[in-house]
Amino acid sequence: MGETYPSVKLNLKHPELFRDQAYINGQWVEAKFGKRFDIIDPGSDEKFATCPDMGAEDVNGAVKAAHDAFQVYRTFTPRMRADLLAKFDALIREHKDDIATILVYETGKPLAEAYGEIEYATSFTRWFTGEAERIQGTTFPAAMPGRRIFTIKQPLGVTAALVPWNFPIAMILRKASAALAAGCTMVAKPSPETPLSALTLAYLAEKAGYPKGVFNVMPTTLANTPGLSEALCKHPLVKKVSFTGSTRVGKILSAHCADSLKKLTLELGGNCPFLVFDDANLEQTCDALIPLKFRHAGQACITANRVYVQRGIYEKFANLLAEKTRQIKVGHGTDKSTTMGPLTVPGGLDKVAGQIEDAKKNGGTVLTGGNRINLNKGYFFEPTIITNATQSMKIAEEETFGPLLALFPFDTEEEAMKAANNTSMGLASYCFTKNVDRMWRLFENLEAGMIGMNSGNSSAAESPFGGIKDSGFGKESGKDVAINEYLITKTGTLTLEGQY
């Protein structure tokens, strides 16, 4: 199983959970070309593990294994699929301490956030355990006599999941849980930064009793990601692709899937607006904004990027927000006192620094933060607030993906609405006001797939998750809609004799 030294460094309670090989057709394997790549701890810039560098040449074997497994798995009854998913869920919860440790070293997030991600992730395994037995067809009254019309739902087949590094456990389980509940098999490609957590899930899926080939994991480098992803998207046996990541890459993958008209779910960029009106409860608003913005150092698609504050409360809100932001403790994720860890990739530091410099050149003021932190060679940056922000700044147009937020003043609801919608993206929007009429207008008029109303949390297993515009299409989670992404609807029309 390759090198085993990292399990000692990670100090896992169950070292067998550490897996550093690809998982294909129930086997732990190396890449065909035999290459491996390093996994880096963002909190120290140190290598702590390696993984096989799978390439396009490895895809066909993985997909064929998933296809062969589908011929068997599709015959499992809904109760059997639900029972397997329940066992999988129980094993993940049982081993949450070790999974959290792996998450900290892969992503950099604090240990408390790692536990939070696991709790969030297992909400999907639990939810789709129930959804497996709620799949149902329909009947329709026919217009013509002697005719009966009905539908059945059937699993699509082999599916592919292309997963980001910011929430690697939650994102893979949100996709895999729906697919497995529906009766599909899956080939998952985790991000190059976070393959180990996905491989741990593969190990636990095997222990839960999933037949070989039902769930497969292919780690790879950033260099090999485009070729491997294209091979998955273009493989004739892959019937569905689900991707979470940037809008730019989502459009490329959409083109790859177009020739074979594959079913596709895209959860893409955010650049989400956050509107604060003068009648808002400012304590409630700050307490919602701080975790929304600075969780995982601001590296989330649904985080608040542009904060619009009504002019009458602008200064008071800015000072309150700054006071609370200064209480954030930056450090390595394993330190129990840490409340914000490093960025996961070093390039994120340059992007945040660049947006801050651009804001200052265009009249912005750094209210708090603004600097890199020299700590153990990790990728740390101060949680930062920019005031006097304007639409001419990069931060108004670009998704930051870092611990930086900008406060934009506004006067009227109409002005705030126009500014909030002035983006190509439409994943989530947030609004804080105690005026119910205004709240309803915002709900209907903000151009986003999810609206947080006096709430900074728009994601739950029971709630449909997905955006509009350049933020993608399709839904993950929620009743019926998410599992339907992995099903086909087949219509039957029967003509009877001797009956009305």
Residues known to be catalytic: 267, 301
Token pair 């009905």 is at which residue? 150
Measured in whole angstroms, the distance separating CA 156 from the mean position of its chain's CA atoms is: 22
Rounded to whole angstroms, how far apart are CA atoms 219 and 210?
20
Residue 27's beta-bridge partner residues?
24
Instruction: Spell out where 311-421 has E strands.
Output: 365-368, 372-373, 380-381, 384-387, 404-410
Structure tokens at 264: 């596709």
Task: Kindly give the pairing relationship between strand 272-276 and strand 46-52.
Answer: unpaired
Task: Report CA-CA distances (Å) from 277 to 99, 140, 320, 411, 417.
Answer: 41, 48, 15, 9, 12
> Could you tell me where the DSSP H helices lie in 376-460?
394-397, 413-421, 436-445
Task: Answer yes or no: are the C-beta atoms of 189 and 228 closer than 8 Å.
Answer: yes
Supply 100's token pair: 């959290």
Residues 368, 116: Cα–Cα separation, whole Å? 27
Q: How far apart are CA 289 and CA 185, in angstroms?
A: 38
8 Å CB contact between 359 and 406: yes
- The structure tokens listed for 244 are 């979470």
Do 216 and 24 meet the contact criterion of CB atoms below 8 Å apart? yes
**What is the distance, to the nearest Å, from the Cα of residue 345 to the centroid of all Cα atoms in its chain?**
17
Phi-psi region of 378 (alpha: psi -120 to 50; beta: other; left: phi over 0): beta
On whether the CB atoms of residues 264 and 241 are closer than 8 A, the answer is yes
CA–CA separation, 41 and 103 (whole Å): 10
DSSP state of 379: -
Q: How far is CA 41 from CA 48, 268, 350, 401, in A?
A: 7, 25, 18, 18
477: left (phi over 0), alpha (psi -120 to 50) or beta: left
Q: What is the rounded CA–CA span in Å between residue 419 and residue 308?
A: 8
